[in-house]
Chains A and B, each alone.
Chain A
Amino acid sequence: DTAVSQTPKYLVTQMGNDKSIKCEQNLGHDTMYWYKQDSKKFLKIMFSYNNKELIINETVPNRFSPKSPDKAHLNLHINSLELGDSAVYFCASSHTGGRYEQYFGPGTRLTVT
């Protein structure tokens, strides 16, 4: 009965590799998000999709590419990983309209060596 799930939970990889993180929500929400939380704990939005359409695209290197096959899934692909990409990546989802309360997945802890 998990609401927002992410895989994998941990990801350790070397510089230069390409990796993907998957996110799924079963809350019936139509908007999904990717956030990055760095070592200083600041939560920063990266992308947002509403019904498979990109609506927020922050200043993020184009090595990061989100993909939303349907409104219940939002994946994040990262090319040519760098040391500075090490962080925790959280997926979240919300309804459009109302108060826009967001619900978060458990996070993917990415370590680039």
Chain B
Amino acid sequence: RKEVEQDPGPFNVPEGATVAFNCTYSNSASQSFFWYRQDCRKEPKLLMSVYSSGNEDGRFTAQLNRASQYISLLIRDSKLSDSATYLCVVNGGGSTLGRLYFGRGTQLTVWP
């Protein structure tokens, strides 16, 4: 079983749409969670951390459900510039603390 699983998409949405991504993780001891964004032919960049109580950064909302080992990212009012691959990332817990596990990414295309 993979450490982090996410729907690869692709998601194709019009500008202004709301889109949601989700992922699941296997290690219940995991302590920290992130969403990264990777543009074509670029490096992954930290989009936002995900906190237990849920958190929001502008148009982006992240949620964590520890009981279900489920993480989500909601993007409201999509912009063309949101087109990218979104990576769900989990910090391994226990003996793998400090090691990040990356999902395969969900591809998003926002069209005009």
Q: Residues of A with Cβ closer than 8 Å to B?
A: 31, 40-43, 45, 48, 55-56, 90, 94, 96, 99-107
Contacts and interface: CB of A to CB of B under 8 A. Distances in A.
Given A31-B98, A42-B104, A103 B32 contact: no
B44 A100 contact: no
Contacts of A90: 43-44
Interface residues of B, number: 19
Contacts of B97: 100
Interface of B: 31-32, 34, 42-46, 49, 85, 87, 91, 97-100, 102, 104-105
Interface residues of B: mostly helix, strand, loop or mixed? strand
Contacts, number: 46
B56 to A, nearest CB: 18
Nearest to B50: A99
Contacts of A102: 46, 100
